[in-house]
């Protein structure tokens, strides 16, 4: 980012007076030349935490005009070519979308890892795993299928999923593992959290799709069901998947135009990395403590000045 000698002098004077914090609008970090920055926000709170912190730093330190757009995953990727989305800041694999938009249409490029490690799987509440220890082996699930029947699943056990747009292989898994279950979509991350909370509190059975990082694990130690071990290529054919989910190195995807311009906002996104614990801290502030995303971001940024400083474009 280019600065005039006046802004450099001002920054030095501030530093001499003890310095301003990153995220403080008086820090001199924003030169006003960042321009418009459009961040897609996918519908889960971990993603929202990423977007909140990036938006806060972009506005306060780089002078960007940030617009956050609530979009499901593929719609967000479509925005790269349309010029309506600059960045997707937590991508869960999506080899299909990478093939289409990075390799095919060439409207998107990778901006590297977020540093967050993701895991998807099937989980049961702790009380259920304690009472039926063998339930965490997929080979035994049919034995317990009747326990999970609901009005939505009929004569089969219910496997609860979240938003249908989430990365999921569950319908193929149920079919190819010959399980007496039906995938039922709760519709959102919030619905999944509520279902697991109620099941643990009331000691009622539930089995469902879930993932980490997720702040709920600090409250309820959900127990993962062991599916057939993931091996490279076992999920190559979506119709034939009969293995567990891989571990995900969650990454950032940006529009090619945004990357080629190499402006301050792109450099911030490219440099952005944090940990599962960092994300959970912000996500909990938003979801459980009911802070606004901006307030949750400010709280975290104020407590992690050195980490944020490493993300900022070099002068």
Using CA atoms, how far apart are residues 89 and 154, in angstroms rounded to an integer?
39
One digit per residue, the tens of pLDDT, for the chain of length 315 reads 333 333 333 333 333 333 445 454 433 343 447 999 999 999 999 999 999 999 999 999 999 999 999 999 999 999 999 999 999 999 998 989 999 999 999 999 999 999 999 999 999 999 999 999 999 999 999 999 999 999 999 999 999 999 998 999 999 999 999 999 999 999 999 999 999 999 999 999 999 999 999 999 989 999 999 999 999 999 999 999 999 999 999 999 999 999 999 999 999 999 999 999 999 999 999 999 999 999 999 999 999 999 999 999 986
The pLDDT score that the predictor gives to residue 33 is 79
Q: 39 in the Ramachandran plot: left (φ > 0), alpha (ψ -120 to 50) or beta?
A: beta
pLDDT at 140: 98
DSSP H helix total and E strand total for the chain: 13, 9
Contacts of residue 70, defined as CB under 8 A and 6 or more positions apart, other chains included, come to 41, 43
Q: Record the pTM.
A: 0.81
Question: 259: Cβ–Cβ under 8 A, 6 or more apart, which residues?
Answer: 109, 111, 266
b/e per residue, 5-25, with b = 16+ CB within 10 A?
eebeeebeeeeeeeeeebbbe
Secondary structure (3-state) at 108 = strand
List of domains in the chain: 29-117+249-309 (3.40.190.10), 118-247 (3.40.190.100)
What is the pLDDT, as a whole number, of residue 16? 38
Report the pLDDT value the prediction gives residue 56, as an integer from 0 to 100: 98
Mention every residue, 6+ apart, whose C-beta is less than 8 A from residue 118: 92, 211, 212, 213, 247, 248, 249, 250
Q: What pLDDT score does 18 carry?
A: 39
- Which structure tokens are listed for 258? 């945004």
HEC assignment per residue over 15-84 = HHCCCCCCCCCCCCCCCCCCCEEEEEECCCHHHHHHHHHHHHHHHHHHCCEEEEEECCHHHHHHHHHHCC
Across the chain, where does the E strand assignment appear?
Answer: 36-41, 65-70, 87-91, 108-124, 157-161, 181-185, 208-212, 223-224, 247-255
| Cβ–Cβ under 8 Å, residues 246 and 230 | yes
- Tell which residue, 130, 134, 174, 222, has the closest CA to residue 144: 134
């Amino acid at each position: 980012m280019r600065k005039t000698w006046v802004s450099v002098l001002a920054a030095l004077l501030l530093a001499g007076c003890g310095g301003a914090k990153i995220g403080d609008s008086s820090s001199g970090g924003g030169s006003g030349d960042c321009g418009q920055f459009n961040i897609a926000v996918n519908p889960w709170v971990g993603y929202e935490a990423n977007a909140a912190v990036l938006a806060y730093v972009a506005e306060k330190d780089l002078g960007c005009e940030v617009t956050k757009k609530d979009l499901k995953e593929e719609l967000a990727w479509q925005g790269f070519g349309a010029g309506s989305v600059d960045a997707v800041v937590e991508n869960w694999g999506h080899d299909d979308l990478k093939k289409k938009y990075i390799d095919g249409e060439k409207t998107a490029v990778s901006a590297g890892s977020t540093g967050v490690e993701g895991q998807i799987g099937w989980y049961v509440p702790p009380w259920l795993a304690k009472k039926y220890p063998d339930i965490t082996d997929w080979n035994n699930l049919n034995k317990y299928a009747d326990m999970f029947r609901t009005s939505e699943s009929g004569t089969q056990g219910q496997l609860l999923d979240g938003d249908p747009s989430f990365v999921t292989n569950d319908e193929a898994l149920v079919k190819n593992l010959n399980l007496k279950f039906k995938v039922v979509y709760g519709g959102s991350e919030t619905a999944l959290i509520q279902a697991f909370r109620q099941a643990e509190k009331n000691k009622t059975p539930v089995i469902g799709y879930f993932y980490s990082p997720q702040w709920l694990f600090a409250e309820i130690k959900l127990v993962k069901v062991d599916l057939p071990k993931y091996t490279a290529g076992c999920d190559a054919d979506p119709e034939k998947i009969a293995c567990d989910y891989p571990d995900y190195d969650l990454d950032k995807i940006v529009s090619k135009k945004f990357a080629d311009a190499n402006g301050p906002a792109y450099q911030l996104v490219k440099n952005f990395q944090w940990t599962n614990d960092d994300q959970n801290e912000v996500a909990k502030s938003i979801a459980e403590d009911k802070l606004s995303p901006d307030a949750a971001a400010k709280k975290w940024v104020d407590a992690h000045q050195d980490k944020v400083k490493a993300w900022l474009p070099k002068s």
